[in-house]
Structure 1
Amino acid sequence: MPDPSRPHGKAVDIVHRLQDTHQLVRTNLEKAASKYKEVADRKHRHVEFDVGDYVWAVLTKYRFSAGDYYKLAARKIGPVEIIEKINPNAYSLNLPSHIRTSDVFNVKHLVPFAGDDSDGDNSRANSVHPGEDDAVEEMASRFLERHDRVRQAAG
């Protein structure tokens, strides 16, 4: 008659095989996870900003109100100042008052601002249309003057 206090040999074998199977599955999962992590890290762009840094904020179509979004709308706003670092992936920005969206952005929607504000005024900047360059207007004026001289010489 079998002794009830001692486990049966087949039961012990089943338990050992089950433990071996669990260990094999755990090892394979760890290998797969490390492989996925390696591939993801190759694509990952590690960027961290500090409070006070200036960045361009990229607006996705989901950040616009239903009537405000259209294909040709500006996608980047800025430069805007970072006012709070919530965590390494989320930052609170000092957005302009006309932007009606949350001021918290994921780091993937932030681009470092590489401008140099140390020289103050940019003599080439166009005050009528900020961000445009007066050099283009100068080239257009020279072209028109040349065109007028050619017309006067011919006529």
Structure 2
Amino acid sequence: MNRLQQIHKDTEQRLHSVTAKYKEAADKRRRNVEFEVSDFVYAVLTKDRFPEGEYNKLKARKIGPVEIIEKINPNAYRLKLPSHVRTADAFNVKHLIPFWGDSLSDEDANSRTNFLLAGEDDADAIAEEYSVVAEGDSALLLQ
């Protein structure tokens, strides 16, 4: 019986040492990122977060900036998602990217960089900058 107990102790000791090595390797890649409530972040949508039949490779996967409304634990946060995003509002920290922008005012918003913010059409923006003067069969573009 003594031999069996010794084998059990050796096995347990080896198991703990191997587990410690795995933990050390995993901690090297771990991101220690903490966010506060009311911070803004980008949320990355993984393939499993899209409703069935809606996922494709060219669809935008990063949404935001969105506001953090609750800290569930140091590894999970609840976000204030736009109404058209149909997915759970709880995200793991590995799917959150900090937003470093200065402000979210409409004056600074660029509709090309964020599809959630309202912007203007390219054609409308160009039409405001240029005026067309028609002269007979030809037209002049004036700035």
TM-score computed with the length of structure 1 as normaliser: 0.67
Extract unaligned runs of 5+ from structure 2.
115-124, 130-143
Deviations 1:81-100 (A, max 9, x none): 00011111211100011101
Deviations 1:16-40 (A, max 9, x none): 2122111111111111011111111
Deviations 1:93-131 (A, max 9, x none): 000111011111111111111111189843xx55xx453
Asked if 1:46 is matched to 2:2, the reply is no
- Considering fraction of residues, name the structure with more helix: 1
Asked if 1:62 is matched to 2:55, the reply is no
What is the identity, as a one-letter code, of the residue corresponding to 1:66?
E
What is the identity, as a one-letter code, of the residue corresponding to 2:82?
P
Percent of aligned positions that are identical:
57
Asked if 1:25 is matched to 2:11, the reply is yes
Secondary structure in 1 matching 2:70: strand
Deviations 1:117-151 (A, max 9, x none): 189843xx55xx4538xxxx99xx9xxxxxxxxxx
TM-score computed with the length of structure 2 as normaliser: 0.72
* CA–CA distance in structure 2, aligned partners of residues 120 and 61 of structure 1: 31
* CA–CA distance in structure 1, aligned partners of residues 80 and 47 of structure 2: 20
Matched residue, 1:131 = 113
What is the identity, as a one-letter code, of the residue corresponding to 2:50?
F
1:6-155 alignment runs, 5 A limit: 15-117=1-103, 121-122=107-108, 126=110, 129-131=111-113
Q: Which has the larger radius of gyration?
A: 1
* CA–CA distance in structure 2, aligned partners of residues 58 and 22 of structure 1: 45
Secondary structure in 2 matching 1:50: coil
Secondary structure in 1 matching 2:22: helix
What is the identity, as a one-letter code, of the residue corresponding to 1:59?
L
Extract structure 1 runs of 4+ deviating beyond 2 A.
Answer: 118-122, 129-132
Secondary structure in 2 matching 1:51: coil
Paired residues, number: 117
Distance 1:130 1:118, change over 3 A: closer
